[in-house]
Amino acid sequence: MLALRRSRRRFALPALTVLLAAFILAACTGPGSYRTVRGGMSDPGNFVRDYLQYAGREGPVLVEVPAGAMGLTGRQLAPRVADMISGSVFGMTTQFTADRTAVREPNWRIIFLFNNALNIRGDEVCAGEVRQNTGKPSMNSLAVFCHRDRLYASVSGYAESFGGVDDPAFRAYARQLVDELFPRNSDEMLRLGGWDD
């Protein structure tokens, strides 16, 4: 009986290891996987969270998506992204909108480029430059926070694939870009109760 129990354990451990490895591989490479990498500036600009708070003090902050992705035009995608990222900035209640008439400070805005050319800089996007890859669709992304044509923060990101704009992983990706654009600092974390983990 003891020998039988040991043989089951020997089989169960390798099988569990293989299943776990397959799950991790699928999570890293399958549809909806994502990661972001800060780009443009080595760090978001000084006081960028204060500027965001100022921009949204009397209403939502403007979101622009000047070029389309995932089968939608930029105009169709912008309100969806604005809705996804509203309330996502840590420790703030900032709301976002694609409706320029609904904002009090239209010169402050976040611009998202999806499927963008990899060599475009954040300051070029703030100045109105738009370039996209026209080859194989990808989710190379650039998010910038601007005042008029001045860049205050920039984040680049890359995702393997999404099942469309309604994919929960796309929502998580958009929110992660914003989280990187306006990162929490240690003082805020301590003031608001510290880290969860």
- Residue-wise pLDDT for 41-90, tens only, equals 444 666 899 999 999 999 999 999 998 888 899 999 999 999 999 999 99
Residue 5 confidence class, pLDDT cut points 50, 70, 90: very low
The H-or-E segment that residue 62 falls in is strand 61-64
In this prediction, residues 3-17 reach a mean pLDDT of 45
Q: Would you state the pLDDT for residue 38? A: 59
- Residue-wise pLDDT for 116-154, tens only, equals 776 788 899 999 988 877 666 667 889 999 999 999 999
Name the least confident of 161-165, 172-176, 180-184, 192-196.
192-196
Q: Would you state the pLDDT for residue 68? A: 87
* pLDDT at residue 18 tops 50: no
Q: Would you state the pLDDT for residue 113? A: 92
pTM of the model: 0.75
Name the least confident of 88-102, 154-168, 170-184.
154-168
Q: Would you state the pLDDT for residue 33? A: 62
d(CA 169, CA 151): 27
- Residue-wise pLDDT for 87-115, tens only, equals 999 989 999 999 999 999 999 999 999 88
* pLDDT at residue 4 tops 50: no
Q: Would you state the pLDDT for residue 112? A: 95
Give alpha helix (H) positions in the chain: 2-29, 48-55, 74-85, 122-126, 168-181, 186-191
C-alpha distance across the termini of the chain, in Å: 43
Return phi, psi of residue 24, to 5°.
-65, -45
Q: Would you state the pLDDT for residue 44? A: 60
- State the Cα angle at 168 between 117 and 86, rounded to 5°: 80
In this prediction, residues 182-196 reach a mean pLDDT of 59
